[in-house]
């Protein structure tokens, strides 16, 4: 299973695609980091793959 | 080599304690379980540590570890979100790990002798992975490894009806980066998770060698209240006690008593070690603290017998009772009902509590 992540450019916290997709737009979960992370920040290929296989990324 | 500590999970078997915090921060001998994992990695020379977070307790774990500098390591946080399995947690760390080997350590596990030998075993050959194993009485309840005479793993079986050995996987692994390609090839198991045992089996199927490391000393998964008490007993049995607190004249003490800054054993109190008293704990006259007890910071115990228990902290205990084999959450008050009518116990108890009165 392809595991897709995104790294916050400000604090280096790594966030999985399922977390990004669940929120679409979210404050970085890194403590005291004010960055805004978006599902749209992922490369188009990753987004497409995730959305095509969305059920696999849900428990 | 890098380190990866898995600190997700709901801690459902430790409710109600985990209603207010992650299981990895439950203290054993007045130190959060997670800190033991960080120390084991650091003592093995691993200072670049990823911490995988789930949904629960993210902020608390980050607030505790910070950037890791207080613990001599450099921490990167990895937010897994949905609990999609140990292999998914590892896979989320691919960018962090890069081309390095890495130790994966379940953050609610405690290991008596550290991971130095496990890492040495891995580095002694050209291995795809090395897995820590321990003999168990009920192999049908665990993931079990079949190991040859040279100590190499032949196959893994999950909860086998006919176990090929009694050697169970205990939740501490060393991987080469080859494991990431194995994880990419995995499909979710029947329970919807990417299983780490499947990833290791995939390494074996691809012809990579997997080393076994049998842990002879104790190992403990602190997933349930009884496990926390047992881990506390094991750690206190070996503790090198600090003596930062005060034992007043007229107090009776015996055995190893670990006292942190501001702890006071007042005249007329009895403490029999091994015991750990956290910062600003007061044991008042008439109290008895018996062996294998840890009392967390800012707690007061008066007129009560406490033994083989973990009091997490900020507790007031004054009950004229014997409290044994107990795990008491933060901020709890336990007082006497002797002078209160009508006669009877009075409880304000959280969801999923477990009381024996």
Tell me, what's the pLDDT at B347?
A: 87
Residues B167, B82 within the same domain: yes
Tell me, what's the pLDDT at B35?
A: 97
Give CA–CA dist A28/A35, Å, rounded.
5
Option in A3, A30, A57 nearest B94 (CB): A3
pTM above 0.90, yes or no: yes
State how beta strands B270-272 and B252-254 pair.
parallel
Tokens linked to B168: 């169970």
Cβ separation of A3 and B186 shorter than 8 Å?
Answer: no
Domain containing residue B18: CATH number: 3.90.550.10
Range of the domain at B120: 2-224
Query: Would you kindly state where each structural domain of chain A is located, as residue ranges?
Result: 5-57
Residues B97, B43 within the same domain: yes
Domain containing residue B293: CATH number: 2.160.10.10
Tokens linked to B299: 């707690």
Greater pLDDT, B310 or B150: B310
Residues of B with CB below 8 A from A5's CB?
78, 92, 94-95
Torsion of CA B195, B199, B201, B203, to 10 degrees: 180
Tell me, what's the pLDDT at B187?
A: 86
- Mean pLDDT for B198-221 is 93
Tell me, what's the pLDDT at A59?
A: 63
Give CA–CA dist B76/B74, Å, rounded.
7
Residues B204, B244 within the same domain: no
Place of tokens 């002798």: B113
Give CA–CA dist B206/B198, Å, rounded.
12
Residues of B with CB below 8 A from A19's CB?
79-82
Q: What is the mean pLDDT of chain B?
A: 93
For B19-73, write each residue's pLDDT tens digit.
Answer: 888 999 999 999 999 999 999 999 999 999 999 999 889 999 999 999 999 999 9
End-of-domain residue from the set B173, B197, B224: B224
CB B293 within 8 A of CB B305: no
Percentage of chain B surpassing pLDDT 70? 100
With vertex at residue B255, the alpha carbon angle to CA B259 and CA B245, rounded to the nearest 5 degrees, is 15
pLDDT for A57 beyond 80: no
ipTM at complex level: 0.93
Cβ separation of A18 and B84 shorter than 8 Å?
Answer: yes
- Mean pLDDT for B212-225 is 90
- Mean pLDDT for B159-178 is 93
Cβ separation of A19 and B79 shorter than 8 Å?
Answer: yes
* Sign, CA torsion B134/B140/B142/B148: positive
Residue A49: φ, ψ to 5°: -60, -45
Give CA–CA dist B306/B239, Å, rounded.
19
Residue B283's DSSP bridge partners are B265, B301
For B122-141, write each residue's pLDDT tens digit.
Answer: 999 999 999 999 999 999 88
- Mean pLDDT for B171-178 is 95
Residue B277's Cβ-side half-sphere holds a number of Cα atoms within 13 Å equal to 32
Greater pLDDT, B187 or B299: B299
Residue A6's DSSP bridge partners are A15
Tell me, what's the pLDDT at B20?
A: 85
Residues of B with CB below 8 A from A15's CB?
79, 81
State how beta strands B48-53 and B2-7 pair.
parallel
């Amino acid at each position: 299973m392809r595991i897709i992540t995104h790294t916050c450019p400000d604090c280096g916290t790594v966030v999985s695609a399922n977390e990004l997709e669940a929120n679409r737009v979210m404050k970085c979960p890194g403590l005291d980091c004010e960055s805004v992370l978006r599902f749209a920040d992922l490369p188009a290929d990753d987004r497409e793959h995730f959305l095509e296989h969305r059920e696999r990324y849900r428990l | 080599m890098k380190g990866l500590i898995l600190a997700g999970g709901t801690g459902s078997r430790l409710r109600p304690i985990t209603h207010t915090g992650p299981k990895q921060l439950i203290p054993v001998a007045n130190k959060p379980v997670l800190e033991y994992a960080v120390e084991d990695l650091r003592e093995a020379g691993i200072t670049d540590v990823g911490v995988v977070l789930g949904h629960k307790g993210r902020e608390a774990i980050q607030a505790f570890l910070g950037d890791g500098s207080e613990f001599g390591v450099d921490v990167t946080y990895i937010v897994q979100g949905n609990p999609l399995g140990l292999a998914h947690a590892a896979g989320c760390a691919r960018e962090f790990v890069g081309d390095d080997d890495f130790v994966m350590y379940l953050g609610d596990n405690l290991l008596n002798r550290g991971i130095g030998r496990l890492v040495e075993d891995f580095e002694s050959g050209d291995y795809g992975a090395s897995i820590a194993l321990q003999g168990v009485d009920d192999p049908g309840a665990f993931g079990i490894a079949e190991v040859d005479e040279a100590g190499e793993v032949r196959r893994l079986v999950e909860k086998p009806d006919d176990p090929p050995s009694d050697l169970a996987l205990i939740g501490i692994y060393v991987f080469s980066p080859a494991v990431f390609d194995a994880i990419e090839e995995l499909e979710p198991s029947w329970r919807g998770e990417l299983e780490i045992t499947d990833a290791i089996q995939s390494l074996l199927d691809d012809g990579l060698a997997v080393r076994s490391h049998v842990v002879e000393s104790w190992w403990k998964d602190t997933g349930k209240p009884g496990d926390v008490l047992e881990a506390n007993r094991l750690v206190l049995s070996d503790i090198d006690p600090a003596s930062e607190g005060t034992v007043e004249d007229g107090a009776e003490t015996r055995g190893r008593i670990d006292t942190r800054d501001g702890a006071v054993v007042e005249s007329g109190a009895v403490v029999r070690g091994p015991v750990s008293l956290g910062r600003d704990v007061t044991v008042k006259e008439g109290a008895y603290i018996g062996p294998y007890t840890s009392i967390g910071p800012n707690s007061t115990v008066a007129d009560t017998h406490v033994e083989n228990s973990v009091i997490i902290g900020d507790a007031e205990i004054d009950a004229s009772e014997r409290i044994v084999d107990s795990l008491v959450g933060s901020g709890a008050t336990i007082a006497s009902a002797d002078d209160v009518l009508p006669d009877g116990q009075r409880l304000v108890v959280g969801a999923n509590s477990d009381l024996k009165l």
